[in-house]
Each structure stands twice: as C-alpha cells, then as structure tokens.
Amino acid sequence: MTQAPTLLEMRSITKTFPGVKALADVNLVVREGEIHAICGENGAGKSTLMKVLSGVHPHGSYAGDILYRGDEVRFQDIRASEQAGIVIIHQELALVPGMSITENIFLGNEPRRRGAIDWKAAQLRALELLEQVGLREDPDTLIKDIGVGKQQLVEIAKAFSKDVKLLILDEPTAALNEDDSRHLLDLLRGFRERGITSIIISHKLNEIEAVADTITILRDGRTIESLDVKADGVNEDRIVRGMVGRELSSRFPDHTPDIGEVFFEVHDWTVRHPNSDERLVCKGSSFNVRRGEIVGFAGLMGAGRTELAMSLFGRSYGTYLSGRVYKDGEEIQLKSVSAAIRHGLAYVSEDRKSIGLNLLDDIKTSMVAAKLPKIAKRGVIDPVSEHRIAEEYRDSLRIKTPSVDEGVVKLSGGNQQKVVLAKWMFTDPDLLILDEPTRGIDVGAKYEIYGIIQRLVGQGKGVIVISSELPELIGLCDRIYTVFEGTITGEVARRDADPELLMKQMTATKKSPTS
C-alpha cells in the first residue's frame, strides 16, 4: 500500500446530539483500494461517523468537511451518497424476508422497460452479481430460506448493483459462523484486488488484524490514531491498547476454579424442530454441570446449542420428545418457564434486544421482572425494595447510568447485558445458561462480564456458556462440550482445549475419543 491516492478524507468532523458530543474533531483518511478498519469501544462514535459519511446525518447537521475523490461532497441523504458509490451495509440487514434474492437486490432500484419491471434483465444481472460475491443460490429463493451468512452476501450483491466504489460494512461478521466469516473476509480481499475500497467496523480484532491494511481507532468520539498494519506491526493487543487507552494485561480475569460435585444432569434430551416433523434439533444430548463450574458449549451457527438451552428452559423451543433432567440427584420437571425458574434455572438469551429485554422498561423494572414475588407482598409490589435491589446491582455490576429509573434503551450494549445478568441473578439461580453473553459488546465490558461469571461460580453456582468465539470458551470455561447438528460430539477439559481440536469436533458427527 505504498501511498495510493486518497479516496476519502473526513476532516475534523464534529457531531453533536442534544446534550452529547458524539464526534469531536474526528479525522479519517481512506486510500483507494485498501481495507480500512475502524475500531473502538461501543459508543466511541464509529456508527455515527459512518452515518455522517453516508448522509443519514445530512450535511449541515455536523461540522467539518468530507472530501471524496478530491472534491468536497455534501450528502443530503443516503440516496445521494449511494449515487456517489458509497454503500453502507448495516449490522441489521435490510432485506425483506418474504421476497426473493432478485427482488431484494433490486428493491428500490428495479430495472424498467416501458414502465414495467424488466424481470428478465433483473434475473440475469442478479446471477452475475451473485457470481461476483460467490453465492451459489437460485435467485428466486426467498431470503427467509437462506442462512444469515448468505443473506449478508445478498446485501453485498445489492451494493454491487449500485456500482459501489466504497463499501462500508458495520459488524459484518457479528452474526456469522467461522466458515461464513472466513468466506466474507476472503471476498473483501478479492474486492481489494479489483480496486474496490472497503471500510469495516468490527469488534472481532483477530479478523481485523488478518484483513485490514489500515486501522483507525476511535475513543470517546475522538480519533486516537491511525495504524498501518504491516508497517507498524500491529497485533490485537496493540489495537486493544488504543481502544481502551490502557494495556489489558489479560483478556480474562484471574480465576482459580473451585469445582464441586455434579448437581445438574441431562439425559438423552431429544427435541423436534417446531415447524418440521422429521427434523430433530437435539438428538439424545446428555451432559452435566458441577457446582462452581463454567461449562462451555461450542458449535457452529445452527448447531443446536441455543435450541438445546431454550428447550431445557421451560420448553421454550420446539417440541419435547424425550429426555430427563436431574438436579441434585432428583428428577425435575421443567414444563414451563416458571417451573424452570422455580427449580433454579436462568437463561440469558443471545438476542437481548428482541427476546431478552422489554425495551420500554426502565432499568429497575427490567431487573426484577423475572421474580416479582420476591419484592411483593400479597401481589403488591414494594417500590422501595425494588429500588434498593436495583441500586445494589447497579453498584455490584458497575452499570454505568445516572439513575436506575433510566430506560434500558439508553444503555450501551455492555450495560444492557449487565442489566439482563442482574435480572437473572435476582432469581437466585443455581444454574445460569448464558447464550452468547458477550456478543456485540466491547472489550472492556467483556472483561467485566467474565468477572461476573467467575464471581457466580465462586458462589457455588453452575454456569453454562454458549459462545461462537472459541478463544472466549477456551479462556473462560473449565470444560467444553462440542455440538454438531444437534448432537454432542465431544467433551474437552480445559487443559486439553485448543481451537483446532474443538473445531474438528464441531464439524464431525462421530463421538470423539478424547473426552
């Protein structure tokens, strides 16, 4: 990357929201044909910066200049920036599930012939675009019938249909499994060969290290530094240091496990898919958890880990076929969520916004929502103890908020996750199932969440962690089960755990002998 011409320069961008300065004097220089990563903790201003660039925040609502291909540009809306060849792909995909791939690619941009949509041309062009992004699917397939990884590719194909020069990807691999992520990153490298410039925003630092040419780090709405990956010899720790402004000596807090007896056992758990008679999402799964133990569940996207957890938690997913659950040696029935809560189970969902929290609630109502009788007398809620409990959790989990009366929507991802954890800690569980507990939250908050998990097992509780990030499982868990297509394919103790072994078991049907 020896000094390619500058494609984009954003100069001293300052953007203020009522009461908050989201961006303060931010500078960004992107050279033609590079992959430019933007890193920063949640709330550092990455998304706002991209919204300024793409015209979501129109010219005039911010201070500073944007120079694009040598000229100053003033985008009034997204359409204007797209016309200039700047396309942004958001974390939440903007596809219509009930429409086909072709229809989605050309939505709002349909090729016309004499007033009507020229479907034939669209079809041919769609095939061409899918070829470019390496997606082999019938363009008539409905979006809802393909996986999220492929949906992402459709989004990129859609961007290509608009003659893209600068592609912006906001957390493109957050929802993807390792395979799809790798494919996507390869694709980005391919684009680079063809001279298409990309900006990528990601929390996954290993991916950034692997793919980016240049990294710009934002912190608290300011540009901290711009690094040339090759010249500066950048590694993950270097990026983390820039993001948090301090050296994180370790990604995981120190912890000496104190593991007790097996107290929770599942035998032969079999569950059928809710919409399909022959598909089993859990096939005779058996596993156990000891007191004071962190047990990991590793698997690719769609392996059935979430399904296993949710079906255990009061049969909240699929149709129960067979299986038994024992707690402290006695069989327990978990036919409803309230029964599961009563028996000391807690499930923190992977999707905190759509099923984990009521986003209309304030912090304190969220925290007590799963066990209201604990703060009520004869059905009447005591506001004083509600408030007191919320304050206790705010202190002990270090939730950053001016008041527990604030709405949960106003919190950052990491703090929202802490509220969800508080909600389930409040139910006094013996076994917590945490599904992707650190998804979409920044490095600093992750560290704190790991600390909370370790404190919980320190109290003699059992914790199950479902995660798609192998380093997280290996760093955190005392024992890891691997899951492949609804079957538990292996069990690995901490000392034996390494990414290669786990990956092998996560992609193999037969039971591994190394357990």
CA–CA distance, 178 with 176 (Å, rounded to integer): 7
Site string for other proteins, 186-225 (x = CB under 8 A): -----------------x----------------xxx---
> Residues 1, 4, 24, 67: which binds other proteins (CB under 8 A)?
24
**Under the criterion CB under 8 A, does residue 177 sit at the interface with other proteins?**
no
Q: In this structure, how many other beta carbons lie within 10 angstroms of the beta carbon of residue 270?
A: 18
Q: Which of 134, 133, 102, 135 is nearest to 120 (CA)?
A: 102
Nearer to other proteins, 377 or 495 (CB): 377
Q: Which of 467, 25, 442, 22 is nearest to 240 (CA)?
A: 442
CA–CA distance, 162 with 481 (Å, rounded to integer): 45
> Residues 5, 246, 380, 513: which binds other proteins (CB under 8 A)?
380
Q: Please identify, among the stretches 11-19, 78-86, 236-244, 289-297, the one whose residues bind other proteins according to the rule CB under 8 A.
A: 11-19
CA–CA distance, 348 with 432 (Å, rounded to integer): 8
Nearer to other proteins, 47 or 161 (CB): 47
**Under the criterion CB under 8 A, does residue 444 sit at the interface with other proteins?**
no
Site string for other proteins, 318-347 (x = CB under 8 A): ------------------xxx-xx-----x
Q: Is 79 exposed, middle or buried (0-12, 13-18, 19+ CB in 10 A)?
A: exposed
Nearer to other proteins, 50 or 492 (CB): 50
> Residues 94, 360, 498, 499: which binds other proteins (CB under 8 A)?
360
Q: Please identify, among the stretches 21-29, 149-157, 186-194, 205-213, the one whose residues bind other proteins according to the rule CB under 8 A.
A: 21-29
The phi-psi region of residue 318 (left if phi > 0; otherwise alpha if psi is between -120 and 50; otherwise beta) is: left
**Under the criterion CB under 8 A, does residue 104 sit at the interface with other proteins?**
no
**Under the criterion CB under 8 A, does residue 63 sit at the interface with other proteins?**
no
Q: How far is the CB of 361 from other proteins (least distance, A)?
A: 6
Q: Is 272 exposed, middle or buried (0-12, 13-18, 19+ CB in 10 A)?
A: middle
> Residues 12, 83, 91, 250: which binds other proteins (CB under 8 A)?
91
Q: Please identify, among the stretches 36-44, 73-81, 204-212, 492-500, the one whose residues bind other proteins according to the rule CB under 8 A.
A: 36-44
Torsion angles phi and psi, residue 487, rounded to 5: -115, 140
Q: Name the helix (H) or strand (E) containing 159.
A: helix 148-160
Nearer to other proteins, 202 or 489 (CB): 202
Q: Name the helix (H) or strand (E) containing 86.
A: strand 86-89
Q: Please identify, among the stretches 144-152, 177-185, 277-285, 348-356, the one whose residues bind other proteins according to the rule CB under 8 A.
A: 348-356
218 residue type, one letter: L
> Residues 197, 349, 454, 468: which binds other proteins (CB under 8 A)?
349
**Under the criterion CB under 8 A, does residue 468 sit at the interface with other proteins?**
no
Nearer to other proteins, 291 or 394 (CB): 394
Q: Which of 364, 328, 341 is nearest to 424 (CA)?
A: 341
Do 159 and 188 touch, CB atoms closer than 8 A? no
Q: Residue 456: which residues within 8 A CB-CB, separation 6 or more?
A: 425, 432, 463
**Under the criterion CB under 8 A, does residue 172 sit at the interface with other proteins?**
no
**Under the criterion CB under 8 A, does residue 245 sit at the interface with other proteins?**
no
Do 328 and 317 touch, CB atoms closer than 8 A? no
Q: In this structure, how many other beta carbons lie within 10 angstroms of the beta carbon of residue 14?
A: 15
Extract the tokens encoding 469.
Answer: 């990030």
Nearer to other proteins, 54 or 505 (CB): 54
CA–CA distance, 192 with 208 (Å, rounded to integer): 15
Q: Please identify, among the stretches 108-116, 225-233, 360-368, 457-465, the one whose residues bind other proteins according to the rule CB under 8 A.
A: 360-368
> Residues 94, 210, 372, 493: which binds other proteins (CB under 8 A)?
372
Write the CA distances from 123 to 3, 105, 126, 127, 157, integer angstroms: 40, 10, 5, 6, 13
> Residues 415, 454, 468, 505: which binds other proteins (CB under 8 A)?
415
Binding residues vs other proteins (CB under 8 A): 16-22, 24, 42-45, 47-48, 90-92, 170-171, 174, 203, 220-222, 313-314, 316, 336-338, 340-341, 347, 349, 353-362, 365, 369-373, 376, 379-381, 383-384, 387-388, 400, 405, 407, 409-413, 415, 423, 440-441
